[in-house]
Structure 1
Amino acid sequence: MVIRYESLIPDKDEFFLLYETTGWNSNGTYTKEQLFKAIKNSWYCISAYHNDKLVAFGRIISDGVYQTFIGDMIVHPEYQKRGIGSEVLNLLTDKCKESGIKWVQLSCARGKIDFYKKFGFKERPVDGPSMHKFI
């Protein structure tokens, strides 16, 4: 299987279809337009295609110096366990290295911790400074 990786923002409809496979938007919190606006505001992104179909996506939100967050790491369920997510993550972290960024943060979906550990990511301590608020 040939996968094409490109540093570009995917089509709005294609991205929405891929995003919907995650279950992250099951309550309809975000519209297609909102999600597209979000990814357009990314510092860097990678889209992966199989036969011109978007099958994976990852992006970086960053100030380009030290605050860097990997978001929306998505691989379509039919394409998981084939190394596509690994390649997307490698391309994202390579961009950080090329740009001199040393600290890369992310939040991972339930059950995905071991995947990120393979790439050197470490869990924050339970009493660490991580916080969030959903409004």
Structure 2
Amino acid sequence: MKYVARFPVDDRELSVLHAAAFGGELEVQLWRERLERWALTWVGAFSNDQLIGFVQVCWDGGAHAFVLDTAVHPDHERQGIGRQLVRTAAEEARAAGCEWLHVDFEPHLTAFYLDACGFRPTDAGLLKLR
């Protein structure tokens, strides 16, 4: 398994992974353009040069960074890939000078983010805009 920060993104390949991981319809997104413009970093997990995992980190340009889109292909789940993706992303954010790494998640992911990845629970708010 190889973990690569800021790898050259193929929009279709990442869209296929995202659809498989989140169970949605395949809709090719402009990932490369979005990541280059808004992300502090992104990390891919590769097995035999095939993208099987992904996470991105956005930031406020200062002390705070945010984990988004953690995805592992269903054929490769429960092997520690997601945990290593998040750890690698955290190392990248730390190296960029960030002091805090935030993540929002659904209740069924509590054990993953709190136990496996080392986040601690906090109070937060959410406002649906659309």
Per-residue deviation, 1:35: 4.3
1:17 is matched with which residue? Answer: 16
Which residue identity does 2:34 align to in structure 1? A
Give the secondary-structure state (helix, strand or coil) at the position aligned to 2:67: strand
Which residue of structure 1 lines up, in the alignment, with residue 129 of structure 2? 134
How many residue pairs match? The answer is 127
Q: How far is the alpha carbon of 1:51 from its aligned partner? A: 1.1
Q: 1: distance between equivalents of 2:59 and 2:23?
A: 22
Aligned residues with identical type, % of pairs: 20
- The aligned residue for residue 124 of structure 1 is 122
Deviations along 1:73-117, one digit per CA (max 9) or x if unpaired, are 101111111111111111111112222311111112441111111
Aligned twin of 1:66 = 63
Of Structure 1 and Structure 2, the greater helix share is in 2
TM-score normalized by structure 1? Answer: 0.81
From the two aligned structures, give the one with the greater strand fraction.
2
Counterpart CA distance in 2 for 1:109 and 1:9 is: 29
Q: How far, CA to CA, are the matches of 1:39 and 1:78 in structure 2?
A: 25
User: Which structure 2 residue ranges, 5 or more long, are not aligned?
Assistant: none
Segments of structure 1 that go 5 or more residues without pairing to the other structure are none
